[in-house]
Amino acid sequence: MRILVVEDDRTTADYISEGLRQEGHAVDALAQGREALVRATTEDYDVLVVDRMLPGLDGLSLVKALRAARVATPVLFLTSLGGVDDRIEGLNAGGDDYLVKPFAFGELSARVAALARRPRMQEAVTELVAGDLRMDLLARRVTRSGQEIDLLPREFALLEQLLRRKGRVLTRTMLLESVWDIRFDPQTNVVETHVSRLRAKIDKPFETELIKTVRGAGYRIEG
């Protein structure tokens, strides 16, 4: 993937760029909003990572200008401001996701991946499959190796999120947002406890483990 990182703090910019390059992405890094506006309108990127506070043209105005110029490249905002107002402001300006500093690299990487591969159009899927696990979205039934598994509604929703992004990492905060619509960090390990409940039903009784823990990042379901 081609990724443009717009961040004025050198340490943070280097860290993000290096990490993304190690994952095999082609990364350009810029420190100025104006330069970024020129680059993003003339070249083709898969994802833009934009800091909200930039010298000159700030991140919010940059993305507004891009959207006005009909550049639809997905944007992940990085910000020091964590208020609900700030998040709404960022999303209204045309941002697709919002990450509050300080963040772990795993979180950034998972969100960049989720943005880039976001399906342009929602296909009408009725069944999700991972290995010998099948989820029937219409009948709301889950089977593994032909054996029916009884899931609570939220366990079903959690598994559905993991299956929809099969092979990709979903962080704890991404799961909190997509399954429970919660946008703050609980002090208790609530996601872990729900994942472990889900594992007890879909992994424990079987030979292979489908839900993998990705250290420092989150969870991934294998195909």
Partner 1 sequence: MARLGLPALRRSTPVRLAAFLVALFACVSLLSFGVTYLVIRNRLETGMRADLEQTMAGFSAAPSASALAALIANQGAVTDPSQRILTYLAPNGQVFGNVALSRGPEGFLYIDLGPNPTGARRDYLGLAGNFFGGQLIVAANRAPVTALATTFLDVLLASLLPTIVIAIGGGLYLARRSRARVDRIVATLDRLSSGDLSARVVPMPGAHDLAAIGEGVNRLAVRQEAATEALRQVSADIAHDLKTPIQRLAVQLDRLAAADGMPEAGAALAGEAREEASRIVATFQSLLQIAQIEGGSPKARFAPVDLAEVARTFAEIYEPAADDAGQSLTLHLPGGPVTVQGDRSLLGQALANLIENALRHTPPGSRITVTLHGGAQPVLEVADTGPGIPAAERQNVLRRLYRLERSRTTPGSGLGLALVAAIADLHGAALTLDDAAPGLVVRLAFGRADSAP
- 182 part of the interface to partner 1, by CB under 8 A: yes
Kindly write out the interface string for residues 106-135 of this chain, putting x where it contacts partner 1 by CB under 8 A and - elsewhere: ------------------------------
Which among 138, 134, 131, 156 is positioned nearest to 147, based on CA atoms?
134
- 206 part of the interface to partner 1, by CB under 8 A: no
- In the complex with partner 1, the residue whose CB is nearer, 103 or 206, is 103
Preceding amide of 102 cis, omega within 30: yes
Contact stretch for partner 1 (CB under 8 A) within 36-44, 77-85, 116-124, 143-151: 77-85
Residue ranges in 4-43 that form contacts with partner 1 under rule CB under 8 A: 9, 11-12, 15
- For partner 1, the binding residue among 42, 122, 126, 187 (CB under 8 A) is 187
- In the complex with partner 1, the residue whose CB is nearer, 182 or 214, is 182
Residue 6's contacts (CB-CB under 8 Å, 6 or more residues apart) are: 29, 30, 31, 32, 33, 36, 48, 49, 50, 51, 54, 59, 62
Contact between 27 and 49 (Cβ < 8 Å): no
What is the side-by-side order of every strand in the sheet holding 211-214?
170-171, 218-221, 211-214
- 189 part of the interface to partner 1, by CB under 8 A: yes
- In the complex with partner 1, the residue whose CB is nearer, 84 or 124, is 84
**H or E stretch including 213?**
strand 211-214
- In the complex with partner 1, the residue whose CB is nearer, 185 or 222, is 185
d(CA 4, CA 114): 16
Cα 62 off chain centre by: 22
- 53 part of the interface to partner 1, by CB under 8 A: yes
- In the complex with partner 1, the residue whose CB is nearer, 148 or 181, is 181
CB atoms within 10 A of CB 52: 21
d(CA 27, CA 45): 9
- For partner 1, the binding residue among 21, 140, 154, 212 (CB under 8 A) is 154
- 82 part of the interface to partner 1, by CB under 8 A: yes
Q: Which residues bind partner 1 (CB under 8 A)?
A: 9, 11-12, 15, 53, 80-85, 88, 100-105, 154, 180-190, 193-194, 196-197
